[in-house]
């Protein structure tokens, strides 16, 4: 990334002159020269926007997966987290923290065929590498009520919202993007798409209101 400290950059584009001054160096730990997309997700038809995933559909370049595995825990009879977005190529470590046996399997999903990772006890874990973009629903054949989702994305620019619906996606390289939402029950909250322009050292606000209807 170029540094523009104490400098002013003039960008001339189709007769428009935009002026960016770099004042946000390292603000909130964000990388200089990158931007932030932030906003709020509001919902109708479900109790709260908790577990809505918001992500950039495609960003230029390749995004190597993290070296450390992503964590999916089975604790107090619940998969935690409920929604686990990861970059393509990430290994997920499936841990059982309960003093009983849990299983991990998934039916055929987007990009993945059905698979049963097995059944194991407290403190034990198994890993699986998700190397194509797509999504699977995680289930446990011991406890039919247990359910979670792994969503495998092209890039690391994603966020899962809490009950308050606020989100922030940091360190996004400047550019034009398509941002999408994803929900565990797609018929209850339809996916929405929006275009967004990200500028260096600035935050762009992008709110979504989601419902059964598009
Ligand atoms: Cu279980």
The arithmetic mean of pLDDT across residues 103-117, rounded, is: 97
CA 70 – ligand 1 centroid, Å: 19
Ligand 1 centroid–CA 37 distance in Å is: 37
Between 13 and 27, name the one with better pLDDT. Answer: 27
- The residue ranges of every structural domain in the chain are 64-130
pLDDT above 50 for 16? no
The whole-angstrom separation of Cα 127 and Cα 141 is 18
What value does the mean pLDDT take over residues 65-86?
A: 98
Angle at 187 between CA 195 and CA 196, to 5 degrees: 5
The confidence score (pLDDT) of residue 20 equals 37
Q: What's the 169 CA to ligand 1 centre distance in angstroms?
A: 32
CA of 147 from ligand 1 middle (Å) equals: 9
Mean pLDDT score across all residues of the chain? 89
CA of 127 to the centre of ligand 1 (A): 17
> CA torsion sign, 129 to 81 to 59 to 134?
positive
Question: 125 pLDDT exceeds 50?
Answer: yes
Quote the ligand 1 centre to 103 CA distance (angstroms).
Answer: 5
Instruction: Report percent pLDDT > 70 for the chain.
Output: 86
**Cβ-Cβ contacts under 8 Å for 200 (sequence gap 6 or more):** 4, 20, 22, 32, 33, 34, 35, 174
> Cα of 97 to ligand 1 centre, how many Å?
11
Stretch among 17-21, 75-79, 114-118, 181-185 having the lowest mean pLDDT: 17-21
Q: How far is the CA of 117 from the centre of ligand 1 (A)?
A: 13
116 CA distance to ligand 1 middle (Å): 13
pLDDT for the residue 202: 96
Q: 63 C-alpha vs ligand 1 centroid, how far in Å? A: 33
CA of 102 to the centre of ligand 1 (A): 4
């Amino acid at each position: 990334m170029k540094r523009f400290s104490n400098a002013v950059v003039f960008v001339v584009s189709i007769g428009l002159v935009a002026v960016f001054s770099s004042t946000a160096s390292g603000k909130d730990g964000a990388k200089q020269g990158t931007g932030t997309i932030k906003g709020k997700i509001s919902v109708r038809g479900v109790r709260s926007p908790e577990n809505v995933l918001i992500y950039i559909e495609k960003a230029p370049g390749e995004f190597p997966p993290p070296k450390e595995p992503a964590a999916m825990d089975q604790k107090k009879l619940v998969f935690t987290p409920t929604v686990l977005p990861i970059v393509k190529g990430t290994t997920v470590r499936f841990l059982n923290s309960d003093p009983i046996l849990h299983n991990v399997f998934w039916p055929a999903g987007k990009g993945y065929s059905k698979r049963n990772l097995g059944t194991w006890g407290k403190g034990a874990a198994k890993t699986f590498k998700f190397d194509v973009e797509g999504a699977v629903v995680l289930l446990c054949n011991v406890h039919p009520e247990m359910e979670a989702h792994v969503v495998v994305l092209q890039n690391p620019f994603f966020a899962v919202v809490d009950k308050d619906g606020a989100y922030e996606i940091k360190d996004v390289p400047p550019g034009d993007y398509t941002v999408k939402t994803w929900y565990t029950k797609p018929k209850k909250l339809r996916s929405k798409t929006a275009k967004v322009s990200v500028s260096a050292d600035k935050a762009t606000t992008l709110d979504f209101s989601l419902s059964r209807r598009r």
